[in-house]
C-alpha cells in the first residue's frame, strides 16, 4: 500500500468514527425505540390472538419481519451466502445477495496461464431489477433472497409482504452451456406504479488470453433487434449505445474466445449498452446493460430468458439459434462469406481426421493454392509477356524520350495492341486472389479451435510466439519478436525478388514491394502464429508453383507468338474487352491531340 492510499484510508476512518460519535443516537433514544417496537409487537400479537383464539403462544410465530419493518423488510439485511450449480460444462456460483449469479467458470478450458476460465466474479458483477414501488426506486441487487435448491435448479425469493414476492429461477441441464432463467413477480401490480421495469446487468470481464491488448481488440457488447442482424459497440473505445429501434432479442458480453449471452423469449422493449476499457491488471473491459421490460396489471407476471455461458466456437454458437454465431467475426463483405461458406467448412472437414492443427493449416493452404492455380498460371504468363516486351519498351522510351509522358504512353499502348498483350493481365488474377488472403486475416484470430493448440515451437496457434523477448517495448515491434512472423517476412521478401524477376519491374515499383513486408513485420508480429504460419506456407507454395510453371513455359515460344501477332492483319485479330477499350482510349487521345494542334 503506498503512502497516499494509507493516508486517505486513515482520514476516512477518522471521519467515520467522528460521525458515529457525534451523529449517532443517544442511549436514551435507543432505549425508547426498543420500547416502542416491543409495544407495537405486543398489540399485533394480541390482535392475532383475538382473531384465531388459540393462545398467545400459538399466535407468536405468525409475526414476521416484513410486517415489523415494512416492504421487503425481511430482505433488506442479511448474511451473504452462496449456492453452487454445476454440470459437465459450467460451474455457477449464486449468491443470496441480489439472488444473482456471482461467478461463472467454463469447464474443460484453461486461461493461457493454466488457470480456470472465470468469465466474471465478485461484487463487480451487478444484476437485478430496478422498479418504482410506492414512489421509490428499488434495486433488487441490494436485497437478500432466500434460496431453494432442488434437482440442479435454484429458486431465489425476496418477499415484499405476504404473498407478494420476486422470484428468480435458475435451471442448469446436464451437459449444457445454457441456464434457463425465469423472473416471477407475484402480486406486485398493486405497488409498482409504472408500465415498465428495468433489468440491469454489469460485469467486468476478466483476462483469459496471453495478450490483453489483442483480447481487448476482439471484445465488445453485441446485441440483436428482432428481425435484424446482430450489431456491436466499438472494440476500440468507450461507448454508450441507446437501443430504441425495436425489441432487443438478445445481448452479449463478448470476449475474444468466450461470451455471456442473455436471450429474452419475448424480447426487451428497449435498452442501453455501454462499454468501458479497464486499465486494472487481469481485467479486460467493463460492460453495462440496462434493458426495459413491459409490466402489465395482472397479479402474476413472468419473464422467461436463457443464459449462454461458454466458448465462441462457431458451431456451438450456431446451435443456439438467433444468429448468435455472428459473435465470431468473419470479416467484412465479401470476406465473411468466403470464411463462412468456403474456408470454415473445409477446415471442419479436415478437423474430422483428428490431425494436428498445424497439419490442417498446411492441407488447407495446399487446397486453396490448387484452387487458385489457374489464376496463378494466368498471372505468370501475363508477367512473362511483359518481361519479354521490356527490351522493345526500352527502345520506344529511348526514341520518344521521357519529356512527353502522354506520347510515350500512347506508343506503349500501340505496342500492347500489336502483340495482343493486356498490361493488367498479371495484376487482375492476383486481385482475384486477394479476398482469400484477406479472409484468413479475420479467420485465424477468431478461430477458437486454434486456442491452446501447439505446433513445432509455437505453443499456441491462436496467439503470437514470442521466440525472442526483449524485456522492453520497442516502437513498431513491441516487447518480443515472433519467429514465425520473421520467417513469413523473409519468405515475402524472397517472393518479391523473384516476382520482380518475372515481371521485369524497374524503378520505384521494384523497391515498393520490399517495403511492404517490413511494414507487415511490425503489424503482424503480435498476431496469431497460426496466421503468420499460413502466410509463410502460402509464400512457399507460390515458389513451388512458379518453379513448376517456369519449367512448363518456354519464353522463346512466347516471344515468337508476340512477334507473329504483329504481322497479323488487324481485322483477323479477335479483340478482347481490354483491346476494345484500348482502341477507344487511343482514338480519344488522338482527337485530343488534333484539337490541341488546331488551337
Give the separation between CA 230 and CA 254, rounded to whole angstroms. 13
Peptide linkage before 334 cis (omega within 30 of 0): yes
Chain segment 111-141, per-residue pLDDT in tens? 999 999 999 998 889 999 999 888 888 999 9
pLDDT at 471: 87
The total of other beta-carbon atoms located within 10 Å of residue 435's CB is 14
pLDDT at 598: 60
Q: CB pairs under 8 A, 24+ apart, for 165-170?
A: 166/99, 166/129, 166/140, 168/99, 168/100, 170/85, 170/92, 170/94, 170/101
CB 388 within 8 A of CB 562: yes
Q: Per the structure block, which three cell numbers stand in for 214?
A: 489483442
Specify the fold of 73-328: Beta-galactosidase; Chain A, domain 5 (2.70.98)
Burial 341-376 (b: 16+ CB within 10 A, else e): eebbeebeebeeeeeebbebbbbbbeebbeebeeeb
Judge whether residue 354 has pLDDT over 90. Answer: yes
Give the separation between CA 404 and CA 391, rounded to whole angstroms. 20
Judge whether residue 17 has pLDDT over 80. Answer: no
Crossing angle between the packed helical segments 357-400 and 555-567, to the nearest 10 degrees: 40
pLDDT at 289: 97
Judge whether residue 180 has pLDDT over 50. Answer: yes
Judge whether residue 40 has pLDDT over 70. Answer: no
397 Cα distance to chain centroid: 53
Q: What totals of helices (H) and strands (E) does the chain contain, helices first?
A: 16, 21
CB 336 within 8 A of CB 330: yes
DSSP track, 395-445: HHHHHH-SS-HHHHHHHHHHHHHHHT--TTTTHHHHHHHHHHHHHHHHHGG
pLDDT at 39: 43
pLDDT at 385: 85
Confidence band for 42, pLDDT divided at 50, 70 and 90: very low
CB 458 within 8 A of CB 533: yes
Confidence band for 73, pLDDT divided at 50, 70 and 90: confident
CB 88 within 8 A of CB 107: yes
Residue 550 host element (H or E): helix 529-552
- Higher-scoring residue by pLDDT: 579, 404: 404
Judge whether residue 536 has pLDDT over 60. Answer: yes
Judge whether residue 574 has pLDDT over 70. Answer: no
DSSP track, 504-516: T--THHHHHHHHH
Give the separation between CA 250 and CA 326, rounded to whole angstroms. 12
pLDDT at 229: 94
Encode 284-346 in three state secondary structure: EEEEEEEEEEECCCCCEEEEEEEEEEEECCHHHHHCCCCCHHHHCCCCCCCHHHHHHHHHHHH
pLDDT at 92: 96
pLDDT at 124: 82
Chain segment 157-172, per-residue pLDDT in tens? 999 988 899 999 999 9
Judge whether residue 395 has pLDDT over 50. Answer: yes
Chain segment 497-510, per-residue pLDDT in tens? 877 776 656 666 66
Judge whether residue 568 has pLDDT over 90. Answer: no
Confidence band for 6, pLDDT divided at 50, 70 and 90: very low
Confidence band for 541, pLDDT divided at 50, 70 and 90: very high
Which range among 11-20, 199-208, 543-552 has the greatest average pLDDT?
199-208
User: Mean pLDDT in the chain?
Assistant: 83
Confidence band for 15, pLDDT divided at 50, 70 and 90: very low
Roughly how many angstroms between the first and final C-alpha of the chain, as a whole number? 85
pLDDT at 599: 58
Q: Residue 132: what are its φ and ψ, rounded to 5°? A: -95, 110
Q: Residue 252: what are its φ and ψ, rounded to 5°? A: -140, 140
CB 272 within 8 A of CB 289: yes
The mean per-residue pLDDT over the stretch 181-206 comes to 93
Judge whether residue 514 has pLDDT over 90. Answer: no
* Burial (CB count <10 Å: 0-12, 13-18, 19+), residue 318: middle
Give the separation between CA 257 and CA 243, rounded to whole angstroms. 25
Confidence band for 407, pLDDT divided at 50, 70 and 90: confident
- Higher-scoring residue by pLDDT: 313, 67: 313
pLDDT at 375: 85
Confidence band for 416, pLDDT divided at 50, 70 and 90: confident
Confidence band for 152, pLDDT divided at 50, 70 and 90: confident
Give the separation between CA 46 and CA 76, rounded to whole angstroms. 27
- Higher-scoring residue by pLDDT: 258, 52: 258
- Higher-scoring residue by pLDDT: 32, 536: 536
The mean per-residue pLDDT over the stretch 69-86 comes to 86
Closest Cα partner for 488 from 454, 523, 447?
523
Residue boundaries of the structural domains of the chain: 26-63, 73-328, 340-561
Judge whether residue 480 has pLDDT over 90. Answer: yes
CB 99 within 8 A of CB 156: yes
Closest Cα partner for 335 from 449, 437, 430?
437
pTM summary value = 0.78
Cα separations in angstroms, 432 against 120, 374, 435, 506:
44, 11, 7, 24
From 15-29, 67-81, 386-400, 553-567, the region with the lowest mean pLDDT: 15-29
Amino acid at each position: 500500500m503506498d503512502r497516499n492510499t494509507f493516508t486517505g484510508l486513515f482520514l476516512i476512518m477518522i471521519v467515520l468514527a467522528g460521525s458515529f460519535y457525534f451523529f449517532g443516537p443517544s442511549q436514551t433514544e435507543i432505549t425508547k425505540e426498543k420500547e416502542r417496537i416491543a409495544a407495537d409487537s405486543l398489540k399485533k400479537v394480541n390482535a392475532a390472538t383475538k382473531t384465531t383464539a388459540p393462545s398467545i403462544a400459538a399466535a407468536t410465530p405468525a409475526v414476521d419481519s416484513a410486517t415489523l419493518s415494512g416492504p421487503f423488510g425481511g430482505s433488506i439485511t442479511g448474511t451473504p451466502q452462496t449456492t453452487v450449480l454445476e454440470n459437465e460444462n459450467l460451474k455457477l456460483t449464486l449468491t443470496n445477495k441480489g439472488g444473482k449469479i456471482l461467478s461463472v467458470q467454463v469447464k474443460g478450458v484453461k486461461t493461457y496461464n493454466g488457470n480456470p476460465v472465470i468469465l466474471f466474479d465478485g461484487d463487480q458483477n451487478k444484476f437485478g431489477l430496478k422498479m418504482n414501488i410506492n414512489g421509490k426506486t428499488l434495486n433488487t441487487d441490494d436485497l437478500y433472497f432466500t434460496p431453494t435448491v432442488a434437482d440442479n435448479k435454484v429458486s431465489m425469493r425476496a418477499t415484499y409482504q405476504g404473498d407478494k414476492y420476486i422470484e428468480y429461477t435458475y435451471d442448469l441441464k446436464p451437459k449444457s452451456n445454457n441456464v434457463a432463467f425465469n423472473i416471477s413477480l407475484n402480486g406486485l401490480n398493486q405497488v409498482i406504479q409504472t408500465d415498465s421495469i428495468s433489468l440491469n446487468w454489469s460485469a467486468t470481464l476478466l483476462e483469459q488470453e496471453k495478450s490483453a491488448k489483442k483480447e481487448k481488440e476482439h471484445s465488445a457488447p453485441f446485441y440483436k433487434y428482432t428481425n435484424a442482424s446482430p450489431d456491436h459497440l466499438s472494440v476500440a473505445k468507450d461507448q454508450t449505445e441507446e437501443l430504441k429501434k425495436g425489441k432487443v432479442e438478445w445481448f452479449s458480453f463478448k470476449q475474444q474466445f468466450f461470451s455471456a449471452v442473455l436471450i429474452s423469449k419475448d424480447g426487451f422493449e428497449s435498452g442501453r449498452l455501454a462499454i468501458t476499457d479497464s486499465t486494472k491488471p487481469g481485467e479486460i473491459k467493463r460492460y453495462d446493460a440496462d434493458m426495459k421490460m413491459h409490466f402489465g396489471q395482472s397479479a402474476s407476471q413472468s419473464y422467461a430468458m436463457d443464459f449462454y455461458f461458454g466458448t465462441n466456437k462457431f458451431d456451438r454458437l450456431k446451435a443456439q439459434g438467433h444468429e448468435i454465431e455472428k459473435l465470431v467475426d468473419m470479416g467484412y463483405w465479401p470476406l465473411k462469406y468466403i470464411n463462412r461458406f468456403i474456408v470454415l467448412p473445409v477446415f471442419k472437414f479436415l478437423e474430422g481426421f483428428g490431425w494436428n492443427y498445424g497439419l490442417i493449416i498446411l492441407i488447407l493452404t495446399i487446397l486453396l493454392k490448387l484452387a487458385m492455380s489457374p489464376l496463378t498460371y494466368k498471372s505468370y504468363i501475363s508477367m512473362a509477356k511483359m518481361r519479354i516486351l521490356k527490351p522493345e519498351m526500352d527502345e520506344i522510351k529511348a526514341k520518344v524520350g521521357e519529356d512527353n509522358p502522354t506520347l510515350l504512353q500512347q506508343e506503349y499502348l500501340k505496342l500492347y495492341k500489336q502483340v495482343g498483350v493486356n498490361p493488367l493481365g498479371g495484376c487482375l488474377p492476383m486481385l482475384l486472389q486477394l479476398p482469400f488472403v484477406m479472409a484468413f486475416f479475420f479467420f485465424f484470430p477468431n478461430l477458437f479451435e486454434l486456442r491452446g493448440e501447439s505446433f513445432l515451437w509455437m505453443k499456441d496457434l491462436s496467439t503470437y510466439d514470442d521466440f525472442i523477448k526483449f524485456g522492453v517495448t520497442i516502437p513498431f515491434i513491441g516487447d518480443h519478436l515472433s519467429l514465425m512472423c520473421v520467417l513469413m517476412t523473409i519468405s515475402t521478401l524472397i517472393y518479391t525478388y523473384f516476382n520482380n524477376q518475372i515481371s521485369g519491374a524497374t524503378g520505384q515499383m521494384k523497391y515498393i514491394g520490399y517495403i511492404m513486408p517490413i511494414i507487415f513485420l511490425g503489424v503482424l508480429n503480435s498476431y496469431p502464429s497460426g496466421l503468420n504460419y499460413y502466410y509463410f506456407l502460402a509464400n512457399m507454395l507460390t515458389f513451388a508453383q512458379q518453379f513448376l510453371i517456369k519449367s512448363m513455359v518456354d519464353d522463346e515460344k512466347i516471344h515468337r507468338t508476340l512477334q507473329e501477332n504483329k504481322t497479323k492483319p488487324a481485322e483477323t485479330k479477335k479483340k478482347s474487352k481490354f483491346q476494345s477499350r484500348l482502341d477507344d482510349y487511343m482514338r480519344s487521345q488522338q482527337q485530343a491531340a488534333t484539337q490541341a494542334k488546331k488551337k
